[in-house]
Each structure stands twice: as structure tokens, then as C-alpha cells.
Amino acid sequence: MMDSSVKIINEWDIVAARQLGRNVAKELGFGTVDQARITTAISELARNIYLYAGQGEIMIEKVESGTKKGMTIISRDEGPGIPDLRKVMEDGFSTSGGLGAGLPGVKRLMDEFSIESTPGKGTFIQSVKWLR
Amino acid sequence: MNMRIPILKLHDCLLVSIQWELDDQTALQFQEDLLHKIHETSARGVVIDFTSIDFIDSFIAKVLGDVISMSKLMGAKVVITGIQPAVAITLIELGIRLEEVMTALDLEKGLEKLQRELGD
Amino acid sequence: MRKKIYQYVQSHSDEILNEWIELMRTEADERAVQAMSDHMFVKTSAEFVDLVVSNFSETEEAFHERAVDFSEKIVRLGWPLTMMTDGLRVFGQIVENGMQKDGTIDHSSYFEFMGEINNWMFPMYKTITQAYTTSWERTVSLQKIALQELSAPLIPVFDKISVMPLVGTIDTERAKQIMENLLEGVVRHRAEVVLIDITGVPVVDTMVAHHIIQAAEAVRLVGAKCTIVGIRPEIAQTIVNLGINLEDVTTTSTMKKGVEQALAMTSRQIVEVQE
């Protein structure tokens, strides 16, 4: 059960997604700090789906590149999309009244981060954490 | 499926030890319960222990920050204790600073700090 | 032709070795020659020539293994990669000149000779450079680990007070490592105050300051206090000139002051004993 996904429809799915993420991170041999980073990043991404898109999916895959091993987290939804990507990547920007840590926070927690979003179509976020 | 976090009273303080991963509902329920308990007991201080928690995301951090400000409004000082290194690092990287919060290494030191703050 | 080359190399191995050493001394990278004593140079050269010759007689796997062993050794000795590649080129030249001189090859067989020697040399180039870079990469990654290990110890100096001396340049990776060591140490030693000593950090720019501030904030979250000590005049100047806000972090210039403050924070002081 290395590569797997969780559909995000209600709040409980956020918990399910981060638990899956933590288990995979543990299995891959990430330390406690990286486990916390990964779990937190998944929680943020899943919550974004739940709050803004209504529903979507979190996918977790292990990756290998040369001698490096790691874990990819993909967040995909067919929600309203993000009109101004630059703005949501600024610290302190939030439309939900949260702390606004959201996406820039996820970017800091992970090693690689990319986002594609089309208004009206949905959002696709891919991020990677490498095993040190 | 709602699990409530037990809130214990010790003299004029309330003690809370969070023992399992917080989901959104539990966190919100806890906010409500704690404020009621403060009102009910006129507690002057609260210690919330996080020793068994291995992750806090921005939502839970916000609920926590809010409950601390709300408690303050009701006249109760809050000390949070036992934040794990991994949790502290992720909070900082997320950009969450929990600025005005008093902290201590563990429950015991948290209580000591609270007693000092309350001037006993 | 392959056989002829082999025969030539076998019967002239001493001459080739001497000529090779002679040529390499003048041609090669000075670092390689200076890296070891004369005796070692001759010995290692002999091993290299031996390795090249063994390519004829041994199986591919056996040669590969020998190449790996030899590469590991010369990486340790500090021979650069060019010593290996130049060495092979020079070896080819010596064989070519030698065989021309004694008439084994002439104009008509020259192309055949070149073809054969290339067939022989190229796979060897590949194997040797690969073996060399592999052991080089391993050395680098071992050094990186060693560096990480010495990067930041947290030392408990008194009950409730710990010190973390930082030495050297701080990059993002090291900053993360330092933060982890720091927080885990604080929790393990039950420290109430940590003194981070930056006397040994050569440059404090915006990024380094940012990492230090983050570390101080994380220390506060786990329930301890953090003081930065070792702020030298030039560091104070850069911090202010760069507009870095260190207001929320306690700082002092010397470790002595820092320790005094830390003792005061934990309601203690050092007193002289009256005999």
C-alpha cells in the first residue's frame, strides 16, 4: 500500500489523508520532524480542497531519482480554481479567515512545490519531500 | 464520533492534557467546553499540555490561538506546555508564531509558571 | 593485432613503466606529484600500469573490481582524476611510439593498430572515470555527514541552562539541522534557557539572521528562552544596516554576560564563598 489516494469530501477525510501520509512517511524512514512536516502539509492541502473546492483528491506516491528517495504529495480538485496564483503564494493572504499560512507554508515545509490552476476548472498541486 | 477532551480543575486552575490527534470538530468542541468551564469555575489560569501531539496544522493553531485570546478576555491566563520539537519546527515553517502565548517545557513547569504569573 | 599489442606491453612492461613515470612527472598535474613521496609515486604508478595491463588478461568483472579498488585508493591519496585520464593517454602514446620504433607497426598496419588501441582504451577510460567519480562522490557524501555531525552540539552547562556554539557558515540545510538539534536538546536536557553563541559565525546576513530568529521562536514554543550571545561590533553593524529586526530576541555581546543573564532568568547567581 505504498502509492495511494484519499478522496476529500468531508472533514473526516482530512484526518484520513494525513494519517495515510504519516504512515507512508514513517514507512519510507523519514525522521519525526519530517513526518510532522509532511503530515502538516497534507493537512493544509486537504483542508484547502475541503474549504474551497468542495471535493477533490490527495494522492501520495513514493519517488526515486538517482540515489534520492522521497515522497510526492499531489492535491487535485475540480473546484473554482485560483484566479491570482501570485497572490495566494504571498505570506499572510487568506480568503477563509484562517491564519493565511496555507500554500506558502506548504511550500516551506516541502522541498519542491509546483501549482497549476485554471479558473473554473480546478487546481493541481504537486510537492515533494526528499529523504535526507 | 465526537470525542471530548477532559478538562480538570485544580484549585483555581484548569488542566487539559490533549492525548490524541485533534480533528476539526474536536478542536472546536474543546474551544467551547474550555470557555464554559472557565465561566463555571471562575478559573484564573489554564494549562494545556501537548506532549502527546505530534502535529498541529494552521487550522488547529488558529483554534488554539483564538481560545487563548478568548480565555484572556475572560480573565484566565493560558500556558501551553510540552510542544514537541517537530511540532515547533513545523509551526515556525508554516509561519505561525503564536506570539503572545506563554509556554513551558512540561505540565509541572507550566503550573509553576502560572502560579508565578498569578502571584501566589 | 590485439595480440601483438599485448605481447609488446608484456615484454616491455618495465620500460613502459619507467617511461610512463618519467613522462607523468613532467606532464602531470603538480598536485599529484606533490601529493605523495617519491617512493609512493613510483609504487602507485606501477600499480596503475599494472592495472592497465591487467585489462588484457582479466575478465571484465575482475578488471572492474580492480579499477574500483585502485580508484578508492588514489582518491584517498589525493590523485586528481586527470592523473588517471592523462595516464591512460600517455600509456597509449608510449606503446604506439615503442611499437613503431621496433617495427611492429608501420604505415600499412597503423590504422588497424589505432582501431585496436582505441577499442582497448575507451572502455577502460569509461570504467576508470566511473570508478573514480563513484569513490569521489562517496568521499564527499561522507564528509558532508561528518560536517553535519559536528555542526551543532547542545551543551548543558548548568541545571536549566544549555549552550549551543555555532561555528562556520550557516546555509539552509545546516540551519534546519541546527534547529532540530537545538529543540531536541532543549527538551532532553530540560533546559529553561539556551544561549546560542554566534562568535564563530563569520557572516550574519539577512538569511542567517532569519534562521536565528526562527530558532529563537521555536525554542520559545517548546517552553524555553533563548539568548543570542557573541554579537561582535561588525555583526551589530550589519544587523542594523540591513534593517534586521532582532527586537524580539534577547542578545548580548559576550558569553559571560549571557551566562549571568541566564542565571538571573532562572533566579540564581554565582556568589563567592567566604572561607
**Separation in Å, CA B40 to CA B14, B36, B49, C225:** 11, 6, 21, 34
Question: Which sign does the torsion angle of CA C250, C256, C261, C266 carry?
Answer: positive
pLDDT above 60 (res A101): no
Tell me the C-alpha distance between C169 and C250, whole Å: 22
- What CATH code is carried by the domain that includes residue C238? 3.30.750.24
Kindly state whether residues C141 and C183 are assigned to the same domain: no
pLDDT per residue as tens digits for the range A69-90 = 999 999 999 989 888 888 888 7
Q: Which residue has the cell 557572516?
A: C203
Domain extents for chain A? 4-130
Kindly state whether residues C7 and C142 are assigned to the same domain: yes
Task: Name the CATH superfamily housing domain A4-130.
Answer: Histidine kinase-like ATPase, C-terminal domain (3.30.565.10)
- The per-residue pLDDT for C51 is 84
Tell me the C-alpha distance between B15 and B18, whole Å: 10
Subunit contact B105:C217, Cβ cutoff 8 A = no
Q: Identify whether C126 is part of a domain.
A: yes
Q: Identify whether C272 is part of a domain.
A: no
Q: Give residue B85's pLDDT band: very low, low, confident or very high (50, 70, 90).
A: very high
C-alpha grid cell, residue A75: 492535491
- The per-residue pLDDT for B78 is 95
Kindly state whether residues C67 and C23 are assigned to the same domain: yes
Q: Identify whether C271 is part of a domain.
A: no
Tell me the residue range of the domain where C127 lies. Answer: 2-148
Kindly state whether residues C169 and C77 are assigned to the same domain: no
% pLDDT > 90, chain A = 62
Kindly state whether residues C133 and C161 are assigned to the same domain: no
With residue B34 as reference, give the H or E element that holds it: helix B24-41
Averaged pLDDT, groups of 10, chain C, 275 residues long: 81 85 77 73 84 80 85 81 83 86 82 84 84 84 73 87 90 87 93 94 86 92 94 88 82 93 91 87
- Is residue A95 helix, strand or coil? coil
Question: Which sign does the torsion angle of CA A44, A49, A55, A58 carry?
Answer: negative
Kindly state whether residues C87 and C55 are assigned to the same domain: yes
- The per-residue pLDDT for C104 is 79
Q: Give residue A2's pLDDT band: very low, low, confident or very high (50, 70, 90).
A: very low
Tell me the C-alpha distance between C181 and C212, whole Å: 13
Kindly state whether residues C85 and C47 are assigned to the same domain: yes
Residue count of chain B: 120
Nearest to A94 by CA among A44, A31, A23: A44
Residue B103 or residue C44, greater confidence? B103
pLDDT per residue as tens digits for the range A108-127 = 999 999 999 999 999 999 99
C218 touches chain B (CB under 8 A): yes
- The per-residue pLDDT for A70 is 95
C2 in Cβ contact with C120 (< 8 Å): yes
- The per-residue pLDDT for A100 is 44
| Residue of chain B with shortest Cα separation from C189 | B105
Cβ burial of B50 (10 Å; 0-12, 13-18, 19+) is: buried
Q: Which of residues 144-203 of C touch B (CB under 8 A)?
A: 179-180, 183-184, 186-187, 190, 192
Kindly state whether residues C7 and C75 are assigned to the same domain: yes
Q: Identify whether B59 is part of a domain.
A: yes
pLDDT above 60 (res A96): no
- What CATH code is carried by the domain that includes residue B64? 3.30.750.24
- The per-residue pLDDT for C167 is 87
C-alpha grid cell, residue C54: 591487467
The 3-state secondary structure of chain C, one letter per residue: CHHHHHHHHHHCHHHHHHHHHHHHHHHCCHHHHHCCCHHHHHHHHHHHHHHHHHHHHCCHHHHHHHHHHHHHHHHHHCCCHHHHHHHHHHHHHHHHHHHHHCCCCCHHHHHHHHHHHHHHHHHHHHHHHHHHHHHHHHHHHHHHHHHHHCCCCCEEEECCEEEEEEECCCCHHHHHHHHHHHHHHHHHHCCCEEEEEEEECCCCCHHHHHHHHHHHHHHHHHCCEEEEECCCHHHHHHHHHCCCCCCCCEEECCHHHHHHHHHHHCCCCCCCCCC
Interstrand relation of B13-17 and B7-10 (parallel, antiparallel or unpaired): antiparallel
Mean pLDDT of B96-108: 89
Give the number of domains in chain C.
2
A105 touches chain B (CB under 8 A): yes
Kindly state whether residues C49 and C84 are assigned to the same domain: yes
- The per-residue pLDDT for A92 is 59
Tell me the residue range of the domain where B100 lies. Answer: 7-118
Tell me the C-alpha distance between C83 and C95, whole Å: 18
Q: Identify whether C38 is part of a domain.
A: yes
**Separation in Å, CA C65 to CA A50, B117, C130:** 57, 70, 12
Q: Identify whether B1 is part of a domain.
A: no
Q: Identify whether C93 is part of a domain.
A: yes
> In Å, how far is C180's CA from the nearest CA of chain B?
7
Residues of chain A with C-beta less than 8 angstroms from the C-beta of B65 = 99
Angle between helices A32-48 and B58-73 (to 10 degrees): 90
Give the number of domains in chain B.
1
A73 in Cβ contact with A8 (< 8 Å): no
> In Å, how far is B79's CA from the nearest CA of chain C?
9
Kindly state whether residues C16 and C138 are assigned to the same domain: yes
| Residue of chain B with shortest Cα separation from A94 | B58
C142 in Cβ contact with C134 (< 8 Å): no
Query: For residue C98, what are the contacts with CB-CB under 8 A and spacing of at least 6?
Result: C8, C12, C15, C16
**Strand order through the sheet with B102-104:** B7-10, B13-17, B45-49, B77-81, B102-104
Q: Identify whether C232 is part of a domain.
A: yes
ipTM score above 0.95: no
Kindly state whether residues C164 and C141 are assigned to the same domain: no
Choose one of C127, C148, C169: the last residue of a domain.
Answer: C148
Q: Identify whether C58 is part of a domain.
A: yes
Kindly state whether residues C130 and C159 are assigned to the same domain: no
Residue B120 or residue A98, greater confidence? B120
Q: Which chains touch B (3 or more CB pairs under 8 A)?
A: A, C
Q: Which residue has the cell 484549585?
A: B11
Mean pLDDT of B8-32: 92
Tell me the C-alpha distance between C4 and C241, whole Å: 74
pLDDT above 60 (res B110): yes
- Is residue A13 helix, strand or coil? helix
C265 touches chain B (CB under 8 A): no
Q: Identify whether C275 is part of a domain.
A: no
